[in-house]
Chain A
């Protein structure tokens, strides 16, 4: 075998090693990128779910045997008083005998009033 042929064979070997390493690095980088991205992606999904649930979050009012009550859809209820109080994620108070004022996550932003 001549020295020229030997050099060619060595170059081919180096090229193969290089290709293999590049491929390994690429695969490792992609896997790492996915692993790093996952918490962010999950947080994005969670935030969307939260926003959706908040946009539907309402409060209801009713009279019961023991007075006026406010209740929300996650099962929270509280007596309605003359001062603002918390009912789940809403605040509400009794404005007069038959009227309540409240603010909930499903309400329009205050600057749109």
Chain B
């Protein structure tokens, strides 16, 4: 009779111990999980004699910025409202911030310390190369080479070279009506262009590499990936006006390339440069 009772008691003790152990472990994993999903990014730039600190929540777990650590070893408390995904905190500081302490808005006891990223200075330059080519009627400039890499900073617009001479003499044969007997081609991409109602619709399908666009310059989407097609719309009137001016200028092929680069970027900062 005593053995079954002993067995039951042993089972109860064992189960309780396992239960407590699991609960403790669950609490720990919960803590670590919440901590792992705190994704703050803190950055600083010098501005007007002070330091401009920005903290952004790049994750989806809201957090509160509790403290800012400064280079002298001191710290200031801030206690912000919870920052959700994509929200920024901005502070102007007289000392260089080195780290920020952020705590989960879900459980304020869970905190991490994130380093503040420093600044760099860079010269603003037009991209060295561009990917834009112009095709006029049946006359196509053959483009043979394009280094399309994902690592370069100037990924937005890349280089091209032409390989065969084009005998095209007239760049446009009908400037009076708003039609577009020309199209744009991006080397390294498949896709063509169609002109409807005077405005150019340009389809782009990358064959390799992910391409990003400067939205404001291209009046199209921000980016595209291989095997997807994006559409750009451009204002025909603007282009015709540019082409009209172009016809008054010398027509060597190289100059045309340079000028077509200017079509996109303006004369001050051509995106296309003549091959040297």
CB within 8 Å of B: which residues of A? 10-11, 14, 17-18, 21-22, 25, 28-29, 32-33, 36-37, 39-40, 43-44, 46-47, 50, 54, 58, 60-66, 68-69, 71, 73-77, 79-80, 83-84, 86, 89-95, 98-113
A-chain residues with CB within 8 Å of residue B47 when the two chains form the complex = 83-84, 93, 101
| B interface with A by C-beta (< 8 Å) | 3-4, 7, 10-11, 14-15, 18, 21-22, 25-26, 29-30, 32-33, 36-37, 39, 41, 43-47, 52, 54, 56, 58-59, 71, 88, 96-99, 115-127, 153-157, 212-217, 221-223, 264-266, 268-269, 271
Q: Is the CB of B43 within 8 A of A90?
A: yes
Partner of B217, one of A10, A65, A84, A91: A65
- Pairwise interchain contact A101-B119, C-beta atoms closer than 8 A: yes
Q: Which 6 A-B pairs have the closest CB atoms?
A: A75-B222, A63-B269, A43-B36, A103-B43, A64-B217, A110-B118
A70 to B: closest C-beta gap in Å: 9
A77 CA to B7 CA, complexed, in Å = 70
Who on chain A is nearest to B264 by CB?
A: A65
A57 vs B121: C-alpha distance in the bound complex, in angstroms?
16
Contact A98 B124 (CB under 8 A): yes
Q: Kindly state the separation between the CA atoms of A40 and B155 in the bound complex, as whole angstroms.
A: 37
Given A63-B126, A91-B52, A99-B124, residue A39 in contact with residue B39 (CB < 8 A): no
Contact between B22 and A62, CB atoms less than 8 A apart: no
Q: Which secondary structure characterizes the binding site on chain B?
A: mixed
Contact between chains at A103 and B44 (CB < 8 Å): yes
Closest B residue, CB atoms, query A108? B118
Cα–Cα distance between A21 and B6 once the two chains are bound (Å)? 14
A-B contact count (CB 8 A): 201
Main secondary structure of the interface of A (DSSP, over half): mixed
**A98 lies within 8 A of B123 (CB):** yes
Q: Knowing A40-B33, A64-B269, A112-B118 touch, does A101 contact B58 (C-beta < 8 A)?
A: no
Interface centre among B47, B59, B123, B213 (most CB of A within 10 A): B47
What residues of chain A lie closer than 8 Å to B264, measured between beta carbons? 65
- Whether the Cβ atoms of B58 and A99 lie closer than 8 Å is no
Report A21 CB to chain B, min CB distance, Å.
6
Whether B216 contacts A64 by the Cβ 8 Å rule is: yes
For B25, list chain A residues within 8 Å (CB).
33, 36-37
- Closest A residue to B238 by beta carbon equals A65
Given the complex of chains A and B, what is the CA–CA distance between A100 and B182 in angstroms? Answer: 37
How far in angstroms is the closest Cβ of chain B from A90? 7
A86 partner residues in chain B, CB cutoff 8 A: 54, 56, 88
Task: Give the complex CA separation of A89 and B25 in angstroms.
Answer: 35
Contact of A103 (CB < 8 Å), options: B120, B213, B268: B120
Output the nearest chain A residue to B38 by Cβ-Cβ distance. Answer: A47
**14 more A-B residue pairs beyond the given contacts A28-B18, A102-B122, A107-B119, with a C-beta to C-beta distance below 8 A:** A25-B14, A36-B26, A60-B156, A62-B126, A62-B127, A75-B212, A76-B222, A77-B214, A86-B54, A89-B58, A92-B45, A103-B45, A107-B43, A113-B119
